[in-house]
């Protein structure tokens, strides 16, 4: 069974093609495998022989992904966590709480239980593709996400530096309160948060191996993000 600790920062190479793993090894700590963007994800896991542990994500359309069937995507995730190479699974907070899609609630909770029984880390994720909420709401979202999952992930669209500062402040507050979180600002005004957030406690970074295959707006390429984070943490 693959192991992946989020006690310190983990840089994941986001991809829908596991054949990119060799190119990511020198810079990434893990692979985020986007099942919803892959042609035949379980077949890809069958033949995966890479050295990097995998975080599996099967993002629904209601949170910016391509998966249209709740039943199918949870079935795929349930099968994926059985693979020894899979060390973590992303589950949307809206599904875990039933606030966004009530039909997914039971499946999400069942998947979380199965993952934890297999020592697979659960990342409870929230994505806001329109705005960055006020700090009080950011604090609440991170607390709920980090409670529902083992890691609470929050990605918001930053329209200006004030949004970026609010996200970093919430990251710092959550970390000071003993929560394990991962945060990032999407879009150009939030781009720098992907490199700076680890200084404030964010435990996961996401970057494509090939910049043309970015899975979220404002991502750095993998090599660049590794170099910046390494330099910043070295001098912090």
pLDDT of residue 211: 75
Catalytic residue among 105, 153, 159, 192: 153
Return the C-alpha torsion angle 55, 60, 66, 70, nearest 10. Answer: 100
Is 226 annotated as ligand-binding?
no
Q: What is the CATH number of the domain that holds 73?
A: 3.20.20.70
Please indicate if the annotation marks 118 as binding a ligand.
no
Compute the average pLDDT of residues 62-76.
94
Residue 111 resides in a domain: yes
Per the residue annotation, which of 127, 159, 172, 192 is the catalytic one? 127
| 56 belongs to a structural domain | yes
Q: Residue 215, annotated ligand binder? A: yes
- Count CB neighbours of 139 within 10 A: 19
Number of domains, the chain: 1
**157: in domain:** no
Q: What is the mean pLDDT of the chain?
A: 94
Q: Among 34-48, 131-145, 218-232, which stretch is predicted with the lowest mean pLDDT?
A: 218-232
CA angle 109, 205, 160 (to 5 degrees): 105
Is 116 annotated in a binding site? The answer is: no
**25: its two tokens:** 């090894």
Whether 60 is in a domain gets the answer: yes
| pTM as predicted | 0.95
- Is 86 part of a structural domain of the chain? yes
Let me know if residue 114 belongs to a domain: yes
Residue 209: per-residue pLDDT:
83
Q: Which residues contact 35 (CB under 8 A, 6 or more apart)?
A: 41, 56, 57, 58, 67, 73, 76, 77, 80
pLDDT at residue 210 in the model: 78
Give yes or no: 127 in active site: yes
First to last CA, the chain: 34
CB under 8 Å to 155, separation ≥6 — which residues?
Answer: 125, 126, 127, 128, 183, 184, 185, 186, 216
pLDDT attached to residue 88: 98
The domain of 83 spans 10-124+190-235
Per-residue confidence band for 131, with pLDDT thresholds at 50, 70 and 90: very high
């Amino acid at each position: 069974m693959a192991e992946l600790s989020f006690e310190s920062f983990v840089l994941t190479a986001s991809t829908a093609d596991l054949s990119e793993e060799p190119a990511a090894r020198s810079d990434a700590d893990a692979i985020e495998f986007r099942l919803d963007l892959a042609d035949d994800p379980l077949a890809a896991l069958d033949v995966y022989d890479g050295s990097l542990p995998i975080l599996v994500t099967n993002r629904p359309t209601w949170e910016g992904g391509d998966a249209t069937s709740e039943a199918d995507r949870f079935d795929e995730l349930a099968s994926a966590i059985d693979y020894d190479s899979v060390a973590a699974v992303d589950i949307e907070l809206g599904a875990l709480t039933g606030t966004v899609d009530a039909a997914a609630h039971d499946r999400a909770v069942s998947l979380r239980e199965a993952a934890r029984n297999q020592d697979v880390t659960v990342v409870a994720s929230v994505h806001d593709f329109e705005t960055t909420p006020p700090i009080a709401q950011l604090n609440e979202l991170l607390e709920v996400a980090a409670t529902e999952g083992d890691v609470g992930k929050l990605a918001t669209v930053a329209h200006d530096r004030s949004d970026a500062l609010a996200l970093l402040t919430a990251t710092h507050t959550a970390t000071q309160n003993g929560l394990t979180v991962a945060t990032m600002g999407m879009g150009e005004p939030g781009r720098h948060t992907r490199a700076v957030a680890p200084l404030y406690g964010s435990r996961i970074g996401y970057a494509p191996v090939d910049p043309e295959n970015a899975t979220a707006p404002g991502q750095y390429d993998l090599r660049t993000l590794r170099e910046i984070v390494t330099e910043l943490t070295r001098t912090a």
